[in-house]
Structure 1
Amino acid sequence: MIQLYSTIWRVSGRRQFILILLSLAVAGLSAVPLSYQKEIINALTHAKIDSPSLFVMCAEMMGVILLSLTLKWLVSYRSGTLGEDIIRLLRKRLYLDNANGKSIPKGTLTTTISAEAEELGKFTGGAFSDPVVQLGTLVAVIGYIASSQPGLGVIALAMITPQVIIILATQRKVNELVAKRVRILRGATNRIVNEDDGEDASTIEEEFDAIFETRRRMFIWKLSTKFVISALNAVATVAVLVLGGWLVLEGRTDVGTVVAATMGLSRLQAPTSFLIAFYRQVSAARVKFDLVRELLEEPQASARKTG
């Protein structure tokens, strides 16, 4: 993981730094609309606001949302173009290395240039900015909920912790299946490109079956994890409504806080789901990075041995 990120920073550090700054700005704005929602609802509930003030607060809230969306657009555009630039760089490197005498099997070269390079490049574009935005959003929203009502903040934090544990426990198995699938696909493609004798047709069919079985097992792991995480999110939402409703009835909090906390949980589900998907992506990218690096280094090692 460290080697993957150090390589990404070495190739695109300056552009990644700009993306990080923009991502921090997006994260910093994430809890501001919740504050406006709380203030507007409480003011309306207690009839402590007039029409001009309501319009001003709603306009300010919309301005913050539009600013946040503009920054998100900019982050997405810059990370997308950076990813495409890295894809181009990887494809040129693989093609030129092969053209300069490295004996990379044609099937392996084809799958690496067409699929693996693209997946690695896309990951590189958001390798730093994506987790900064989502982690920053989690910290900002949980901090806001906890500052408004500590008990509701504890529920929000408790919703995330088991999800992290589940992902860490299951992702290693998924990574093994990803690496296995890539290696099987490379072998099958090499046989097809090299047009081996017909006696290998059954072997290729068996490899296609193995790829299917590998993906099937990946689906089981991923979908089961998603089911458990969705159930945890539902439990957290119900818990906030139960605790928040009880606190309102006891006069220990206000309706605006409960509404903001409920909305905050909804805001937390998106970055949490994204970070889970991102962790899976970075784990798969690390596996494919190692495979591509092996592909580029093996011919060099062979040349040194020959010399």
Structure 2
Amino acid sequence: MSLMDRYHVLVHDVSALFGYDYNDTTPDWVHPFIHLILVLAPGLLIGVALYLVLRGILRLWSRPAKPVARMNHVRGLDAGLFSSVLRYTRRQQAQMIMLSLLALPILYLTLELPKQIVNNALESATFPVEVLGQSLDQVIFLLLLCGLYLLSISLNGLIKYTLNVFKGYMAERFLRRFRLLIYRRWRSDAEASEQSEIVPILAQEVEPIGGFAAEVLTLPVLQGGTLFTILLFMFIQDPILGAAALTVLPIQLILLPKLQRRVNTLSRIRIKEVRDLGRQLSEQLRERQGASSGLSAAGASFKALEQVRRRIFRLKFFIKALNNFLTALTPFLFYSLGGYFVIEGRITLGALVAVLAAHKDFSAPLKELFRYYQALEDTRIRYQEITTFFAGTPPRMEEQQSAGVHRLAIRRPPEHALSQT
């Protein structure tokens, strides 16, 4: 048996595991779809996952140990972003995770009920039906299912609204604490207090960190759970269509992170350009330079900042366009292959409609997870830039002598300044 024959036997065996009789009577145009969905795409996905895991392990293994002195750039903040966020929001993060998990079974109901409406209330001919001992005709049964669907989407929206409001409150509270800690460090440092970069740091650069603090655990739990729930629903309707939803995922995992790393590099350059601009304007105010020389220096900074932001815009919108195109390829498989399965009688029309509706929701959490990765990298860069801002300006001697007292004061701040809500 040749290698190609063995490959075809493998495809037949995998197709049989998914409950599809893939044989010579199957139309020729279905064959490449089966090969792509059941063999090629899963193999590529497994390879990409192994590569990412090995790369992460190698990075952790080769990462040099951070010097202990870097832990105190801003007292009250840890060297890592995650540890600093969890240090002050651990209880609130646990509450939001529980609320996120509560939304997942309700989400599954919003996916299942439309299929029940199409199959059992519209296309079924077995009426009246018994529900909890009550005999219901077709119209009443339809209204009952529609009412349950309305209740499920209302509960789902209420949970998401409550979660978003909670996240906003927690983000603002962490942001206030973060600004106050940086401000205290700046005021206690004789050399740093003369640097004008503190203004954009406190006003602009800390804003994304506060927003990310509210999503550091909740977003991957909620959106990852949503993604898993939708995939589970699609696999229950038909395993092949569920596997088809993962066809373009390996390409997204390969291309999008590489493009995002280029955006991160440009974001770091943009932060430095903004700080340089603030330093130039501060020097002009102190030295009272002439209008022509000051305008020339400021114009050069404005132009450099514009060019960096243009490059960031081009890359960000290219990533968005590429992700939208790859996401739109999967419905093509659903309409063609899923429609053929409906004609064959393998799945019902209601199941296909439900899978299409579920995939429409499937792209949203996937985009949110990619956005989370982008925000994670960008926020981590901002956090490192802020914490290393004070690296070259050590605290004064009297502050070092009372470090233990100040550390306790920061961990238990005054009620009027850093009260927990």
TM-score, length of structure 1 as denominator length: 0.93
The amino acid that maps onto 1:289 is Y
Is the aligned partner of 1:9 residue 2:9? no
Q: Paired residue for 2:113, among 36, 40, 62? A: 36
Contact 1:28/1:136, CA 8 A, preserved across alignment: no
Q: How far is the alpha carbon of 1:257 from its aligned partner? A: 0.9
Q: Paired residue for 1:180, among 269, 275, 282? A: 269
Is the aligned partner of 1:232 residue 2:326? yes
C-alpha distance in structure 2 between counterparts of 1:183 and 1:303, whole Å = 30
C-alpha distance in structure 2 between counterparts of 1:27 and 1:206, whole Å = 52
Instruction: Compute the RMSD of aligned alpha carbons.
Output: 2.2
C-alpha distance in structure 1 between counterparts of 2:363 and 2:204, whole Å = 30
Q: How far is the alpha carbon of 1:107 from its aligned partner? A: 2.7
Q: Paired residue for 1:54, among 118, 121, 142? A: 142
Which residue is equivalent to 1:153?
A: 242
* Structure 2 CA distance for partners of 1:123 and 1:102, relative to 1, 3 Å: farther
What SS class does the counterpart of residue 300 from structure 1 fall into? Answer: coil
Is the aligned partner of 1:26 residue 2:103? yes
1:15-46 deviations in whole A, cap 9, x for unaligned?
11111111122233222211111111112123
Which residue is equivalent to 1:129?
A: 218
The aligned runs of 1:147-296 (5 Å cut-off) are 147-194=236-283, 195=285, 196=287, 197-198=289-290, 199-296=293-390
Contact 1:79/1:125, CA 8 A, preserved across alignment: yes
* Structure 2 CA distance for partners of 1:97 and 1:268, relative to 1, 3 Å: same
C-alpha distance in structure 2 between counterparts of 1:31 and 1:117, whole Å = 37
What SS class does the counterpart of residue 157 from structure 1 fall into? Answer: coil
The amino acid that maps onto 1:141 is I
Structure 1 segments of 4+ aligned residues over 6 angstroms from their partners:
301-304
User: Which structure 1 residue ranges, 5 or more long, are not aligned?
Assistant: none
C-alpha distance in structure 2 between counterparts of 1:4 and 1:101, whole Å = 23
Q: Paired residue for 2:228, among 124, 132, 139? A: 139
The amino acid that maps onto 1:112 is I
Is the aligned partner of 1:299 residue 2:388? no
C-alpha distance in structure 2 between counterparts of 1:123 and 1:145, whole Å = 31
Which residue is equivalent to 2:123?
A: 45
C-alpha distance in structure 1 between counterparts of 2:152 and 2:390, whole Å = 47
C-alpha distance in structure 1 between counterparts of 2:381 and 2:364, whole Å = 26
Q: How far is the alpha carbon of 1:124 from its aligned partner? A: 0.7
Which residue is equivalent to 2:207?
A: 118
Identical-residue share of aligned pairs (%)? 25
What SS class does the counterpart of residue 30 from structure 1 fall into? Answer: helix
Which residue is equivalent to 1:63?
A: 151
* Structure 2 CA distance for partners of 1:227 and 1:212, relative to 1, 3 Å: same
C-alpha distance in structure 2 between counterparts of 1:298 and 1:69, whole Å = 49
Contact 1:26/1:68, CA 8 A, preserved across alignment: yes
What SS class does the counterpart of residue 125 from structure 2 fall into? Answer: coil
The amino acid that maps onto 2:173 is D
The amino acid that maps onto 2:358 is G
More helix, by proportion = 1
Which residue is equivalent to 1:75?
A: 163
What SS class does the counterpart of residue 145 from structure 1 fall into? Answer: helix
The amino acid that maps onto 2:344 is E
Moved more, 89-98 or 258-267: 89-98
What SS class does the counterpart of residue 154 from structure 2 fall into? Answer: helix
Q: How far is the alpha carbon of 1:102 from its aligned partner? A: 4.3
Structure exhibiting the larger radius of gyration computed from Cα positions: 2
How many residues in Structure 1 have an aligned counterpart in Structure 2?
306
